[in-house]
Amino acid sequence: MDININDIKNGMTIIMDGNLCNIVEFQHVKPGKGPAFVRIKLKNLRTGSVVENTYNTNIKVTKAHIDKVHAQYLYSSGDNYVFMNNTSYEQIEINSSVLGDAVNFIKEGLEIDIDSYEGEIIGITLPEKVEYEVIETEPAVKGNTATNASKDAKIETGYIVKVPLFINQGEKIIISTKDGKYSSRA
């Protein structure tokens, strides 16, 4: 479906220059002289590369229809992660190269959406915030109450996240999957 470039939104998936891309951010620019243009930061969903380009406001882009399948993470086998389709109960294997940074946040039983375009799996959509257990961190030091002081903590997936000093090993914390940062205690 072709749409005018003025009708794009952040997060929309489009076909740009023959590539399947996600719009990270865009900006309409109306300079004092000359015609208006659109500056777009695009993430190529096949290669993972991010580019920023400018386009005339009179061009059309093709909106890509992304199919989402609700699934649950089961286990990993080498570089492949195995998910179960929650409707058909069929198992779907996805290579870690397709998942990218999402592998840092995948834990057993996590409910996600598998995104595909014309039958090709292009990635997954994680919940915005997920609860994890801290499996390794330094004990809190009494008297160390500097403002915004933080320490490293390893969560159950192996990912290292900065947490406040009062978080201890064995505690449950909430992490934002968008930026990988500590959000709150569970």
CATH number of domain containing 31: 2.30.30.30
Q: Which of 46, 63, 80 is the last residue of a domain?
A: 63
CATH number of domain containing 110: 2.40.50.140
Regarding whether 174 and 139 lie in a shared domain, the answer is yes
The pLDDT of residue 107: 92
The residue segments making up the domain with residue 168 are 129-185
The pLDDT of residue 39: 92
Regarding whether 149 and 103 lie in a shared domain, the answer is no
The pLDDT of residue 143: 60
Domain count, the chain: 3
The pLDDT of residue 159: 93
The pLDDT of residue 146: 58
Regarding whether 111 and 152 lie in a shared domain, the answer is no
The pLDDT of residue 161: 93
What would the 3-class secondary structure string for the chain be?
A: CEEEHHHCCCCCEEEECCEEEEEEEEEEECCCCCCCEEEEEEEECCCCCEEEEEEECCCEEEECCCEEEEEEEEEEECCEEEEEECCCCCEEEEEHHHHHHHHHHCCCCCEEEEEEECCEEEEEECCCEEEEEEEEECCCCCCCCCCCCEEEEEECCCCEEEEECCCCCCCEEEEECCCCCEEEEC
Digit-by-digit pLDDT tens for the chain (186 residues) are: 788 888 888 888 888 888 889 888 999 888 888 888 999 999 888 888 889 989 888 888 889 888 999 999 999 988 999 999 999 999 999 998 888 888 999 999 999 999 999 888 888 999 999 999 999 988 866 665 556 678 899 999 999 999 988 888 999 999 998 888 888 887
The pLDDT of residue 10: 87
